[in-house]
Amino acid sequence: MMMNDCFYCENGDKLKSLMIEVCKLDYSTVYLNRDQKHKGRCIVMFKDHKTEYFQLTPEENKGYFGELAKVAQAVWNLYQPDKINYATFGDGVPHVHVHVVPKYEGGLQWGEAFHDDVDKVLLPEEEYKEMVEELRKEILG
């Protein structure tokens, strides 16, 4: 089922202005967030339009969260954070997705919930390309 007003299902200019597709997996699509105030921040979006985890079948749930763990491991390996935060909201964008947010001790928002009301850190396109390639290689093996 697709919703016309779903930011992720539309896969349009707004989405592309905020994130870059890294790869498609069996149950999800992985995106690199353009705002890199948390170096390595990604989003793992469930492949179909669902708004709640309980709407996923047991197989989808296991597959999706397995892929989420795989992406988190890739971020961990590449960027060596002290902790990864996992953020799920969805009231603004009702589609199952998780923000994988690497946090660094003594760094931005350490010891508090990640939030987007601080200045964005945007990178040159070449740096995004390198990060996407590194992540894709790390995730897909």
Distance CA 118, CA 38 (A): 11
Residue 60 covered by a domain:
yes
Q: What is the CATH number of the domain that holds 63?
A: 3.30.428.10
Q: 2 pLDDT exceeds 60?
A: no
* Percent of the chain surpassing pLDDT 70: 97
User: Residue 4: what pLDDT?
Assistant: 60
First to last CA, the chain: 31
Give CA torsion, residues 1, 56, 51, 72, to 10 deg: -120
Is 97 a domain residue? Answer: yes
Whole-model pTM above 0.85? yes
Integer Cα distance of 117 and 19 in angstroms: 17
Is 115 among the domain residues? yes
**According to DSSP H, which parts of 32-101 are helical?**
58-79
In this prediction, residue 64 carries a pLDDT of 98
Q: For residue 1, tell me if it sits in a domain.
A: no
102 domain-assigned: yes
Contacts of 19 (CB under 8 A, 6+ apart): 31, 32, 33, 34, 43
Domain-embedded: residue 87: yes
Distances (CA, A) of 83 to 75, 101, 135: 11, 9, 18
Report yes or no on 2 lying in a domain: no
pLDDT at 90: 87
Residues 71-113 pLDDT 10s = 999 999 999 999 999 999 988 889 999 999 999 999 999 999 9
The burial of 49, by beta-carbon neighbours within 10 Å (0-12 exposed, 13-18 middle, 19 or more buried), is given as: middle
pLDDT at 10 over 80: yes
Q: What is the rounded average pLDDT for all residues in the chain?
A: 95
What number is the average pLDDT over the span 51-67? Answer: 98
Average pLDDT of the residues in 1-29: 89
Mean pLDDT in residue range 12-19: 94
Structural domain span for residue 123: 7-140
pLDDT at 69 over 80: yes
Beta-bridge partners for 42: 32, 100
Number of domains observed in the structure of the chain: 1
82, part of any domain: yes
